Amino acid sequence: MLEALDLQFTILLLSNGVMIGLMYSLIALGFVLVYKATDAVNFAQGEFVMIAGFVAVGALTVAGIPLWLSILAALVAMVGFGFALERVMLRKLIGRPIIAVVMATIGLAAILRGLGPFGIFQGTRPLPLPLRDEPFILGPLFIPPIQLLGGIVSLVFLAGFGYFFLKSRKGVAMRAVADNQQVAMAMGIDVERYFGLAWAMTGVVSALGGVLWGNMLGVDVNLALVGFKVFPVVILGGLDSIPGAIIGGLIVGLVENLAAGYIDPYVGGGTKDFAPYVLMILALMIRPYGIFGKRIIERV
Amino acid sequence: MALYPLPIAKYTVAALGVLFFLVLPLSLHEYYLSIANLVWISIIGALGLNILVGYTGQVSIGHGAFMSVGAYTAANFATRLDFPWPVNLLLGGLMAAAIGAIVGIPSLRIKGLYLAIATLAGQLIIEWTINHVTFISGGVQASIEVPRPQLGTVVLNTHREMYFFLLFFVVVAIVGTMNLMRSRVGRAFVAIRDQDIAAEIIGINIFRYKLLAFAISSFYAGVTGVLYTYYFGIANYEQFQIGVSIDYLAMIIIGGLGSVLGSIFGAAFVTLLPIGIRYGMEAVSGVLFSEATVHNLIPALRLTLFGALIIVFLVLEPEGLNRLWRNIRSYFRVWPFAY
Amino acid sequence: MRKSLIALIAIVVAMAPVMPASAGHEIVIGLQCDRTGATQIVGTVLCPGFHDYIALVNSKGGVEGHKIKALEIDHEYKVPPGVEAYERHKKEGAVTMAIYGTPHIYALAAKLTEDRIPGTSPGFGSAAAADGIKYPYIFPIAATYWSQGAAAVDFVKKQLGGNLKGKKIAYLFFDNPAGREPIEVIEDIAAKEGFQLKTFAVPPPGVEMGAQVLDIAQRFRADFVIAHLFGGAPGVSIKEFKRVGYPLRKVVSFVWGAAEANIEAGGGFAAAEGYYAMQFAGVGKDYPVLNEIREMYKKQGKPEPKEMASTVFYNRGVLIAALHVEAIRNAVKDKKDGKITGEDAKKGFEKISNFTLGGLVPPLKVTPQDHEGGGLVQIWQVKGGKFEKVTDWYAAYQDVVAKHIKDHGAKK
């Protein structure tokens, strides 16, 4: 089947994988930020993206305000949501086993989906961005504008958060909190404030994810399904690593596309969403802390 | 330890036995028995998951997939080889145990969140395999019809007959779990949960016992899957997807981790809550809202309330319904004194 | 402690079963619905359509003077609540069951037959259930996935000039049992017509299908695409086809990728210009029965419900309700007192013939042998901001479909 390995097609698959992978990274970034700063895991990441999409589309179509203001509204709403959530729910779960936080966020996901039959949460709406659908053609590459934008946003956030954690005072404090809450408290850091900040940062990333993915998928309850893409990405990259989220996203994007292009035809089924999970299991056995993750996984 | 530490316990057990084996099944309408049957099946599944999560301290988001392994194993043996149901039940459980032990292998190296996601991967991989291997799934529709179970010459097809059939397994599962937890194996599980390194030092083979916990837990799941299959008359993996795994986790967390009674309470609560909410809403909401609104309101409120209750339990009563029940009991035991 | 006790008592009191008053001579239809689960996009529109039609029938005095009551229970697309809903409906005396969801119709198949209550699975469920002898109490009452596949190939054939020899057709499908079901039928037709068929799986959750669409457009270079996707995936497919520059007028979608919601998700009607969508109920607002429903709302001084704007799902709800009522009407003809049983309703379904509701319902002919009623569909196209009818009701390759139904029945 060598003729199937058509070079042009392979290049297209790879570029597609890179682009979509960066879109996954954006979602995974929200997950990693919270884990890095608070040791909590957010199984409602997809629902975060969904409500951000609903807020943006609601502002745009129901309230009729301009696009940039709608996106701003989504940002503000999600930051507020992140702060509020930390305050009401997650602060009470600090120090509890991981499964408690997992279940709490699953409960949260149920609440958010339960809002479905009401008001702006009902039905499917497009979220048009001033981008054309036709791809940019660069030599052999077709690059869809929305994915290019998604990739750029992901990379900007990577750089931004990377700088924040490494250089800024707040970022250093946040790393200290993540490292050891008690010592951080003893050093006079207001731990709870930084937890709130971490959730608010996740809100920012989710808001942009909601707008970009909302444009790709249309805004309805199915938007939450992008949350499923997070797990292989964060495990491969490392749960607490921001560059890991990018690398993990790229790996998943590439593996998915190559699997769809070169494995599916032989097995007659969709291996696309399955291949990253297989890879993930292998990665867990070989390098359980991910490619960039901190090496503090307890060996047993 | 004896079954009856106090005389009152003896009467309680006897009274419960009479209630569940005679009074309820012979007096209730078939509809209520059908609900009871759903509760019975989920109790077995919840007990199994609690052995793994509550007693051994491992995490699994793949319980639903193990049910489908049991379901398809039993359905294949039932239709291809015409095996009787007791054999299929056992084989379904054993196959699920074997697959469960394999999915549990990553637990030897990872724990907590990483393990949770590894078992999630296990769930998706099992679903994928069943969907694509027609040898297992019996065709592209991935559903295999099975005959109703028979006891001698009696075919069990009414809910009343199924009630006794399922309740029998519930009792076996409860007694089995309680005994397991009093055995060397059960104590090893608890030791691993509480402090795995210490457990290893005192000579517990962590490798063996962790896999054993996965296997036993999955055995229960497999049996649950087989019972669903016989109850519905069909094996179909779309009945055991990721949402089911999450529902069972909710059961044991709401009920109480590491407790048999908690598993029972949790299974009953999660199964009955939506039904209860609907009845409540039907009674009151018609007065307040138009019919069209009510139709949207009931399901939305049910899901929202379900999510909210999970969170409320986690925040306010981490030990779940089991703890609540103990509090109530001790409250009335010393009543009217404060303690 | 006291607080939690009070809370617990409050919960118990709130949950105490309150029985609604008994139904009198009402004829009860059990309606399952999903307004909160995986398919809520469909359920939140389809089920109001169902209720509105029932309300319309009742406002005109019911069926031969007997009121109809559609008792809706939402099951969140989960099976155990669906089973509970069925039992509740049975207890309330439902004579027909509008089942919702493929796993649910599978889980309830045995019960329906044992209890002798007809259940419908329009546009989903098992295609083999069209066989009324093997599955006496299951009524697909709309084109099954096999018939949809056959009709899709026939449509493609007409679009490609009446000959498929040597043509390339891509089948883009959601990788679950429902998505895989039609493959065997399409493969048979491919052998017969001499076209090259290639399948492209979209695994759940289906939020991205760049590689598959790229393959269809760039490597396989399909002459036409038959798409069978669910949930958000149809919208994604529209976007992806546009991105790789594949013309949407060479794509025909099965019935669950054919609604306004899918087009909106795909970027709106302007973006999806040309896309072909298969329907088992009429599309649009222009049917006498819909005017009557609007009239009914007007009389009550209410605006028309917002769900009516999503005509594809809404009209399907009306269609399902109408077929149930028609079956009951046929049954009541023989039992004027209205005290019909599930068996009567089954026979009522099997007498449905030429009941078209002004074009919203296809001219089905349900018989004791054929519970599908002919496998009729229409193709509509996105054109100028709305759906436009391209074909009238038709079915195709029914010999191939019949062969598969027969083979499946023999295996059982």
Give C215→chain A minimum CA distance, Å.
Answer: 7
- Cβ-Cβ contacts under 8 Å for C291 (sequence gap 6 or more): none
Contact C87 B234 (CB under 8 A): no
Contact B253 A235 (CB under 8 A): no
C206 to chain A, any CB pair closer than 8 A? The answer is yes
* C295 assigned to some structural domain: yes
Where does residue C264 fall: left (phi above 0), alpha (psi -120 to 50 degrees), or beta otherwise? alpha
Using one digit for the tens of pLDDT, what is the confidence trace for A164-219? 888 888 888 888 887 777 788 888 888 888 888 889 999 999 999 999 998 888 88
- Cβ-Cβ contacts under 8 Å for C30 (sequence gap 6 or more): C71, C73, C85, C86, C88, C89, C90, C92, C94, C96, C97, C98
Q: Pick the residue with more confidence: B80 or A147?
A: B80
B117 to chain A, any CB pair closer than 8 A? The answer is yes
Q: Cα–Cα distance between C44 and C313 in angstroms, integer?
A: 9
Cis peptide before A265 (omega within 30 of 0): no
* C329 assigned to some structural domain: yes
Domain ranges of chain B: 7-253
pTM: 0.89
Q: Which two tokens stand for residue B14?
A: 């006897």
Packed helices A98-114 and A45-57: angle between N→C axes, nearest 10 degrees: 30
Q: Are C5 and B328 in contact (CB under 8 A)?
A: yes
Mutation site for B-interface testing, chosen from C54, C114, C180 by largest number of B Cβ within 10 Å = C180
Residue of B nearest to A267 (CA): B132
C169 shares a domain with C105: no
> Cα separations (Å) of C238 from A54, A174, A197, C172?
21, 43, 39, 12
A21 three-class SS: helix
Q: Cα–Cα distance between B172 and B170 in angstroms, integer?
A: 5
C309 shares a domain with C161: no
C73 shares a domain with C34: yes
| Cβ atoms within 10 Å, residue B187 | 15
DSSP state of C205: T
Q: Distance from first CA to last CA of chain A, Å, rounded?
A: 45
Q: Which two tokens stand for residue B112?
A: 């907590």
Q: Distance from first CA to last CA of chain B, Å, rounded?
A: 26
* C245 assigned to some structural domain: yes
- Cβ-Cβ contacts under 8 Å for A238 (sequence gap 6 or more): A244, A248, A289, A290, A291, A292, A293, A294
Contact B292 C305 (CB under 8 A): yes
Cis peptide before C205 (omega within 30 of 0): yes
The answer on pLDDT for A294 being more than 80 is: no
Chain C residues with beta carbon closer than 8 angstroms to that of A4: 219
CB pairs under 8 A between A and C: 140
Chain B residues with beta carbon closer than 8 angstroms to that of A115: 300, 304
C303 to chain B, any CB pair closer than 8 A? The answer is no
The answer on pLDDT for A66 being more than 50 is: yes
Q: Cα–Cα distance between C379 and C400 in angstroms, integer?
A: 20
Chain C residues with beta carbon closer than 8 angstroms to that of B157: 114
The answer on pLDDT for C282 being more than 60 is: yes
Q: Cα–Cα distance between A10 and A266 in angstroms, integer?
A: 17
CB pairs under 8 A between A and B: 131
C321 shares a domain with C184: no
Contact A100 B108 (CB under 8 A): no
C54 shares a domain with C128: yes
The answer on pLDDT for C2 being more than 70 is: no
C112 shares a domain with C167: no
Quickly name the fold that domain B7-253 has. ABC transporter involved in vitamin B12 uptake, BtuC (1.10.3470)
C325 three-class SS: helix
* C18 assigned to some structural domain: no
- Cβ-Cβ contacts under 8 Å for C96 (sequence gap 6 or more): C29, C30, C117, C118, C119, C120, C324, C327, C328, C342, C345, C349
Nearest to C266 among A12, A144, A218 (CB): A218
C137 shares a domain with C156: no
Chain A residues with beta carbon closer than 8 angstroms to that of B314: 93, 96, 100, 103-104, 107
Contact C80 B234 (CB under 8 A): no
Residue of C nearest to A275 (CA): C203
C169 shares a domain with C135: no
* C7 assigned to some structural domain: no
C60 shares a domain with C108: yes
CATH number for the domain including C205? 3.40.50.2300
Arithmetic mean of pLDDT, C104-131: 90
pLDDT tens by residue, chain B, 339 residues:
455 667 777 788 888 888 888 888 888 888 999 999 999 999 999 999 999 999 998 888 899 999 999 999 999 999 889 899 999 999 999 999 999 999 988 888 777 778 888 898 899 889 888 888 888 888 888 888 888 888 888 888 888 889 999 999 999 999 999 999 999 999 999 999 888 888 889 888 988 999 999 999 999 999 999 999 999 888 888 888 888 898 899 899 889 888 899 999 999 998 998 888 888 887 877 666 777 777 888 888 888 888 888 888 888 887 888 888 888 888 888 877 776
The domain in which residue C248 lies consists of 145-279+378-395
- Indicate the burial class of C96 (C-beta count within 10 angstroms; 0-12, 13-18, 19 or more): buried
Chain B residues with beta carbon closer than 8 angstroms to that of A41: 113
Residue of C nearest to B331 (CA): C1
C196 shares a domain with C58: no
* C185 assigned to some structural domain: yes
Chain B residues with beta carbon closer than 8 angstroms to that of C35: 295-296, 299-300
SS3 content of chain A, % helix, strand, coil (to 5): 75, 5, 25
For residue C296, what pLDDT band results from cuts at 50, 70 and 90? very high
Arithmetic mean of pLDDT, C58-72: 91
Number of domains in chain C: 2
C179 shares a domain with C90: no
Is the Cα torsion angle A160, A166, A167, A171 positive or negative in sign?
positive
Q: Which two tokens stand for residue B177?
A: 């779990």
| Cβ atoms within 10 Å, residue C369 | 11
Q: Which of residues 182-221 of C touch B (CB under 8 A)?
A: 183-184, 203
Using one digit for the tens of pLDDT, what is the confidence trace for A216-252? 888 888 888 888 888 889 888 888 888 888 899 999 9
Parallel, antiparallel or unpaired: strands C378-383 and C386-389: antiparallel
Question: C35 phi and psi, to 5 degrees?
Answer: -110, -5
Q: Pick the residue with more confidence: C66 or C40?
A: C66
C166 shares a domain with C115: no
Contact A217 C245 (CB under 8 A): no
Mutation site for A-interface testing, chosen from B311, B313, B317 by largest number of A Cβ within 10 Å = B311
Q: Cα–Cα distance between B31 and B28 in angstroms, integer?
A: 8
